[in-house]
């Protein structure tokens, strides 16, 4: 007779096991991660599973609750003391008696922590680098003079299979008191190095300890986003964000590098500022969730190269100019206390590798989250900031670059531009017949031509943010106000009073009330320069891949969450693509950090992927200039946009004499060379 067949969900891993095998053991043998703190003693409750009953024809399995041994004494005892939901079993106790489909519930939360709704609710298979291991240790015996710590190590070897465990020195002084306080039982936190497999004891508690937290953090130039994650369940328990306090040293990356170069204590001041901000956020998420800082055992950080260096205390001066040399590009393993973070004394830090001197660990983490390298379709992943980080690839080959887009997409360099904040115009529509606009501002759900709009805007209209700029320029083009070369058509002044003369060029009046908000020829030009830089970078990567179209586009980062892909494509910010395959993925870098936190296999995956990614230096590529010039046009001088044409009626071409365009691309190129990358 063949052994029963067990299928684990959601991983889909399956295998046959002799009757009498515990479900926990079967999971272990198949490499399915089931948490177990107490080592199968039936006291931690972390190993809960559920049977999915029914016929699973595809797998040839008929699964039923009675294909597990009846409720045993350990489960009864646990259910009496704690709360074991109906249908739940302890996998360390329940043994296999027949074919089964076993579900590992994702909500195994013992201490009733409130699960906050995270921005991204994806749950990843767990295989954390830090694991809690409960052991019962022999009492000391005069005839067997083995030290207390050595007996703990012996128990960890017998019960958990860890050999040659290294012990963090801060544990030595607490071994004896902890062991006695726990009545000869302790819980050790064991960190397993993903490369060497070396196990280290990093923390120790008396008796059974059932809390282990991790931190996943994305350090952006503008904002820092941090998640508190349960290492035992994989859930995000609390999230918090703050603006990067380094802004006071310089708004953009290059000015922060300059600050370091000009001020002897500049690097230290910025390192202290960012570490303090991260530590404050840790305090905030702990307070919100009731978690204890001392139970934070592992952390993962990502950031662009300059943030990465400053956080680690490395001078970023070399990243300020070619060849953009990183002090360290590979993954970093260190300890929280080395970075002045208040967590458990043994808490580990893992920093995801950087891809290149201007494509950082944030882009690597976004790559891990979106997985171009895991699929056949060609995916373009773009994170737009003052530098756009671009990754293009599939399972065969991945290439990456950055493009100096400048701050125009963030509302800077635009006459009425501002950061995205209440009062900023974020959506725009222009009637192609009358050229009359309507718009929406942040903080109100109404369009400007709807009743009650003025009252709904508490702050008043204050300016145009990045997504508003993209929409207004795209709509101006669709309405024929600007030509494909981006020239505001003065002849349209005869058709609408919204086209006004402005020196030698013309502007479009978006808001004719107070304040007057216009889009000038220079504004259009700034957007053209920014989008041409991005598109030229993307085209270089497409050339490297030998492709003329991409299958999918993902916008990462805050900017990507707010722009409408259709308008981004009308402008020619991104190449032609089926619009249903263009999406915003939010803080993909933060998601990647969480993945690396809860599953150490992802650390290996991203390290291998980063080694494989080919880095393209846009400044050195002779074709950059040609692509840039073609990309100055809307949507593009040379590239067709057939998918876009299916969704949007593009205007007929009209050539207008350019006002002050000459030298635009060349000027941009020089500016790009000066600009900070990263």
Please report, as ranges, the residues that interact with ligand FES according to CB under 6 A. Answer: 36-38, 40, 42-47, 90, 92
Task: Please report how close the Cβ of residue 138 comes to ligand FES at its closest, in angstroms.
Answer: 21
Nearer residue to ligand FES within complex by CB, 47 or 102: 47
Sequence-distant (≥ 6) Cβ neighbours of residue 170 within 8 angstroms: 345, 346
- Which DSSP helix (H) or strand (E) runs through 364? helix 361-370
Q: What are phi and psi of 278, to 5 degrees?
A: -65, -45
How many whole angstroms separate alpha carbon 559 and alpha carbon 387? 12
Q: Nearest approach, Cβ of 78 to ligand FES (angstroms)?
A: 6
Rounded least distance, CB 602 to ligand FES, Å: 24
Cα distance between residue 415 and residue 403, in whole Å: 23
Q: Which is nearer to ligand FES, 186 or 530 (CB)?
A: 186
Beta pairing partners, 185: 136
- Nearest partner of 588 among 199, 28, 119, 56, judged by Cα: 119
Cα distances (angstroms) measured from residue 174 to each of 178, 181, 393: 6, 10, 51
Ramachandran assignment for 321, one of left (phi > 0), alpha (psi -120 to 50 degrees), beta (any other): beta
Quick one: which of 572, 553, 596 has its CA closest to 644? 572
Task: Please report how close the Cβ of residue 399 comes to ligand FES at its closest, in angstroms.
Answer: 45
Residue 39 or 537: the one with the smaller Cβ distance to ligand FES is 39
CA 570 to chain centre: 27
Q: Which residue is nearest to ligand FES (CB)?
A: 92
Nearer to ligand FES by Cβ, of 22 and 329: the residue is: 22
Minimum distance between the CB of residue 42 and ligand FES, rounded to whole angstroms? 5
Q: Which is nearer to ligand FES, 34 or 366 (CB)?
A: 34
CB of 90 to ligand FES, least distance (A): 5
Q: Where are the beta strands (DSSP E) in 66-147?
A: 88-90, 100-103, 130-136
**CB-nearer residue toward ligand FES: 132 or 593:** 132
In the complex, least distance from residue 24 CB atom to ligand FES, rounded to whole angstroms: 6
- Helical (H) or strand (E) element with 617: none
Phi, psi for 308 (deg, rounded to 5):
-55, -50
* Min dist. Cβ of residue 175 to ligand FES (A): 23
- Cβ at position 25, least distance to ligand FES in Å: 11
Element (H, E) at 268: helix 266-289
Whole-angstrom distance, CA of residue 394 vs CA of residue 388: 20
- Name which of 74 and 284 has its Cβ closer to ligand FES: 74
Give the SS3 label for residue 476: helix
Give the Cα separation of 609 and 678 in Å (integer).
Answer: 19
Q: Partners of 226 in the beta sheet?
A: 217, 240
Of residues 47 and 369, the one with the C-beta less far from ligand FES: 47
Nearer to ligand FES, 42 or 590 (CB): 42
Kind and range of the H or E element at 532? helix 521-545
């Amino acid at each position: 007779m063949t052994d029963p067949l067990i299928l684990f969900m959601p991983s889909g891993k399956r295998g046959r096991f002799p009757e009498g095998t515990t479900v926990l053991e079967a999971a272990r043998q198949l490499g399915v991660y089931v948490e177990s703190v107490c080592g199968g003693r039936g006291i931690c409750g972390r190993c809960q599973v559920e049977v999915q009953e029914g016929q699973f024809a595809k797998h040839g399995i008929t699964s039923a609750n009675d294909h597990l041994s009846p409720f045993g004494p350990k489960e009864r005892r646990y259910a009496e003391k704690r709360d074991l939901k109906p249908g739940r079993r302890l996998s360390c106790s329940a043994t296999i008696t027949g074919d089964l489909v076993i579900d590992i519930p994702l909500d195994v939360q013992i201490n009733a922590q409130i699960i906050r709704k995270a921005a991204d609710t994806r749950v990843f298979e767990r295989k954390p680098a830090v694991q809690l291991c409960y052991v019962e240790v022999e009492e000391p015996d005069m005839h067997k003079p083995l030290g207390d710590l050595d007996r703990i190590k012996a128990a960890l070897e017998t019960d958990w299979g860890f050999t040659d465990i290294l012990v963090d020195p801060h544990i030595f002084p607490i071994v004896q008191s902890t062991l006695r306080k726990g009545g000869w039982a302790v819980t050790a936190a064991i960190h397993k190095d993903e490369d060497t497999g070396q196990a280290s004891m990093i923390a120790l508690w008396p008796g059974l300890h059932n809390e282990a937290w991790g931190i996943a953090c994305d350090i952006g130039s503008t904002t820092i986003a941090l998640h508190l994650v349960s290492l035992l369940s994989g859930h995000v328990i609390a999230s918090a964000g703050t603006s990067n306090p380094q802004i006071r040293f310089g708004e953009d990356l290059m000015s922060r590098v300059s600050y370091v170069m000009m001020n002897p204590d500049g690097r230290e001041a910025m390192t202290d500022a960012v570490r303090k901000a991260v530590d404050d956020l840790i305090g905030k998420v702990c307070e919100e969730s009731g978690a204890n800082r001392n139970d934070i055992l592992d952390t993962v950080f990502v950031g662009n190269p300059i943030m990465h260096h400053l956080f680690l205390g490395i001078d970023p001066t070399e990243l300020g100019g070619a060849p953009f040399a990183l002090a360290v590009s590979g993954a970093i393993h260190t300890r929280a206390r080395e970075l002045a973070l208040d967590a458990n004394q043994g808490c580990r830090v893992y920093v995801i590798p950087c891809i290149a001197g201007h494509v950082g660990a944030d882009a690597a983490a976004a790559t891990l989250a979106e997985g171009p390298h895991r699929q056949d379709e060609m995916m373009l992943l773009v994170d737009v900031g003052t530098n756009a980080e671009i990754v293009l690839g599939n399972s065969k080959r991945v290439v990456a670059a950055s493009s100096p887009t400048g701050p125009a997409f963030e509302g800077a360099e635009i006459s009425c531009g501002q950061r995205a904040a209440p009062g900023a115009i974020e959506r725009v529509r222009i009637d192609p017949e009358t050229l009359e606009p309507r718009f929406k501002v942040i903080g109100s759900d109404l369009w400007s031509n709807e009743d009650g709009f003025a009252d709904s805007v508490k702050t008043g209209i204050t300016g145009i943010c990045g997504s508003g700029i993209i929409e207004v320029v795209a709509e101006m083009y669709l309405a024929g106000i600007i030509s494909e070369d981006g020239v505001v058509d003065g002849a349209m002044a005869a058709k609408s009073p919204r086209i006004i003369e402005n020196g030698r060029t013309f502007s479009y009046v978006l808001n004719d009330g107070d304040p007057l908000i216009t889009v000038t020829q220079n504004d259009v030009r700034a957007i053209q320069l920014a989008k041409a830089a991005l598109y030229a970078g993307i085209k270089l990567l497409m050339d490297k891949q030998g492709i003329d179209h991409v299958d999918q586009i993902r916008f990462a980062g805050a900017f990507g969450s707010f722009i409408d892909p259709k308008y981004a494509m009308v402008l020619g910010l991104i190449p032609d693509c089926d619009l249903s395959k263009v999406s915003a993925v939010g803080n993909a870098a933060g998601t990647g950090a969480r993945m690396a936190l809860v599953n150490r296999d992802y650390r290996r995956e991203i390290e291998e992927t980063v080694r494989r990614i080919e880095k393209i230096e846009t400044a050195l590529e002779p074709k950059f200039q040609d692509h840039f010039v073609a990309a100055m046009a809307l949507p593009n001088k040379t590239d067709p946009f057939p998918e876009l044409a299916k969704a949007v009626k593009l205007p007929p071409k009209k050539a207008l004499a350019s006002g002050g365009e000459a030298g635009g691309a060349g000027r941009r190129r020089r500016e790009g060379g000066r600009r900070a990358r990263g």
